[in-house]
Amino acid sequence: MYATMDDSIRRLADSSFKVRLREQNAVRTRLQREIPHAPVVEIPAAAHAIFHSHPKAVFLKLRSFLDSNTKPSGQRRTDRKSGPKRP
């Protein structure tokens, strides 16, 4: 689709994309600040429906996360950092 756009529409799309990237970076930074113990995983070039665009990468990241939070006996780990204290 991008390849078929005329120059004025392509410039508009590029500008919009840059704004969207800044917004995503701001959200990511806020998430990491407010929930510092939460892992943030990014899969480059993933589509909105990431399970469809990158099923193997999602599976591997999810499996790794689940394995790291489970004891061999299947019990949840209790040695994790606690989250932010609520008033």
Closest CA to 35 of 85, 78, 79, 70: 85
Predicted model pTM: 0.52
pLDDT digits (tens, 9 = 90+) for 42-53: 888 888 899 999
Cα distances (angstroms) measured from residue 70 to each of 6, 35, 48, 49, 50? 52, 20, 28, 27, 24
Alpha carbon distance 31, 28 (integer Å): 5
Alpha carbon distance 60, 49 (integer Å): 16
Domain boundaries, the chain: 1-40, 43-76
Closest CA to 41 of 6, 17, 68, 77: 68
pLDDT digits (tens, 9 = 90+) for 9-23: 999 999 998 998 899
